Every structure is written in structure tokens, then in C-alpha cells.
Amino acid sequence: METLALKLVLTPTLIGAVSMAGRRWGPGVSGWLVGFPLTSGPVVFFLALDQGVTFAAGTAVGSMTGAAAQAAFCLLYGRLASRRHWGLALLAGCLAFATATVALQAVTLRLVPLLAAVIGALAAALYFMPRDDSDARTAALPRWDIPARLVVTTAVVLILTGMAPLLGPRLTGLLATFPLYGAILAGFAHRLQGPGPATRVLRGLLLGLFAFAGFFFVLALSIERCGIVPAFAAAIATALVLQTGSLWAMWRGSRA
């Protein structure tokens, strides 16, 4: 019961804070913020409590690998955003994520080479992601937007942690990385404000995913050796350092 209560409090609190910050500072920052492991991080934490640190370590490896699948989502959506209806671009991005997830299930690299491959995928997606600095259309955001985000993300955490014993650690980690909030933010930005803001969300998400990969790399490396609290503390510290660097890169890019 304590674990369930923690899931019901921690998950919506994290997502609510990021959603409000994104509204305050714009689509690029909102995409960058959801690069934090706000869904998959709690999933691994609760699995460590429920299933043990070995299961959680395997899930962390799957989540780190899933950053490459998120790169596929961002790249295909971004390439189609200016030429297709927002719904078709979003669907194509989701199919790219699903295809990459199936392919990544077969990857059996060791942790360090796997991290290098993930970083390479993120760098390639950023390189080929189109830049769109067009002005956003002014549009009022619906009142139900943030409450819907809280409900959907909490439901995803509850479902994945409940089904984890059936799915196994690797697939659970991969599925937990589906860019749920990147998809919601980009889809809403695209529909209400145009393709430019949607592309900026996706570029921000790609920049944030370097910290995402670093978080799960440290977690996979340390949780069995050090325990839950020290491993998560080290992973969060690593993510904050990397996220600061990606914020600087985003700021430099916006001024170029």
C-alpha cells in the first residue's frame, strides 16, 4: 500500500511541475524538461522496491537503450512535421518508436558499447532534425491539458509496474521509455501553434535524452553494487550535470 501511495503522489507531482515549467518557458524548454526520466525513472524505482535490484538493473539497461528508440520517434516526426498533418506525423513517429523497440530487443551489447551506440543515435537524430524558427500561432491551451497529462502518466506507471513480471526487465525498460509526454507536447504544439513549435519540442527532447541515457547508465552500473538510494542519488546527480550542459547547448543554438 505504501508503494501504491508513493506512485499516486510522486508521478503526478513530477509531471505537473514539468508541465507548468514548460508553459512558462516555451516548447523547446518543455521538450528538454521531458528528457528527464519522469515516467521511466519512477518505473525503475518502484520495480527496485517491488522486484529487487537485479530486476531494476535490467530494466535500467532497457530504458537506456530506449533512448535510441525515442530518437527515431523524434527524427521521423520532425522530418514530417512541416509536410504532413499533425496526426499523421505523430503516428509515423510512434511507428518509428515501435519498430526501433522491436529491433533493440535483439541488441546484446555490453553496457559501455551500448551507451556509445545510444549516444551516436541521439547525435545523428539531432544532426538530421530540421530547424524551424517560424513564429508560433497564438492559441489558448485547453484547461484539461495538464490534468490529462497527470492521469495518463500515472496510469502508465501503474500498468507497467504491474505487468513487469510478465514482460521481463528489458522489455519493461524499453516500453517505459515511450516518449509519452514528448508526443503529447509535440502533438498539442503542432495542432495549436504549427510545425515550428512541435519541431522545437522534439529538438529539446533530443538534447534532454543525453541526460536520460546518462541517468540509466549510472543506475544500471551501480544499483546492484550500491543499493537503491545511493544509485538513484548518483544517477540524478549525473542527469543534472548533463542536463545543464544540454541547456547551454540549447541556449547557444537559439542564439545562433
Give the pLDDT confidence of 57-98 residue by residue, as tens digits.
999 998 899 899 999 999 999 999 888 888 899 999 999 998
Round to whole Å and give the CA distance between 104 and 107: 5
Question: Mean pLDDT over residues 93-119, rounded?
Answer: 90
Considering only residues 238 and 133, tell me which one the structure prediction assigns the higher pLDDT.
238
pLDDT tier for residue 30 given thresholds of 50, 70 and 90: low
Mean pLDDT throughout 28-55?
Answer: 82
Handedness of CA 50, 56, 60, 61 (dihedral sign): negative
Mean pLDDT of 44-54: 89
Report the alpha-carbon distance of residue 36 to residue 208 in Å, rounded.
7
Instruction: Kindly report the pTM of this predicted structure.
Output: 0.79
Per-residue confidence at 210, pLDDT binned at 50, 70, 90?
A: very high
Q: Which of 41-45, 84-88, 90-94, 173-177 has the lowest mean pLDDT?
A: 173-177
Whole-angstrom Cα distance, residue 67 to residue 117? 10
Exposed, middle or buried by CB within 10 Å (0-12, 13-18, 19+), for 22? buried
> What is the dihedral sign for C-alpha 101, 103, 109, 113?
negative
Q: Which phi and psi angles does 186 have, rounded to 5°?
A: -65, -40
Does position 185 have pLDDT exceeding 60, yes or no? yes
Judged against a pLDDT cut of 70, whether residue 6 lies above it is answered with: no
* Mean pLDDT for all residues in the chain: 82
Q: What is the pLDDT of residue 67?
A: 92
pLDDT of 255: 54
Is residue 46 within 8 Å of 39, Cβ to Cβ? no
**pLDDT exceeds 60 at position 137:** no
What does the pLDDT average to over 226-250?
Answer: 88
CB neighbours (10 Å) of residue 199?
28
What count of other Cβ atoms lies within 10 Å of the Cβ of residue 89?
Answer: 23
Q: What share of the chain is helix, strand, coil (3-state, %, to 5)?
A: 85, 0, 15
pLDDT at 76: 94
From the CA atom positions of the chain, what is the Rg in Å?
A: 17
pLDDT over 70 at 125, yes or no: yes
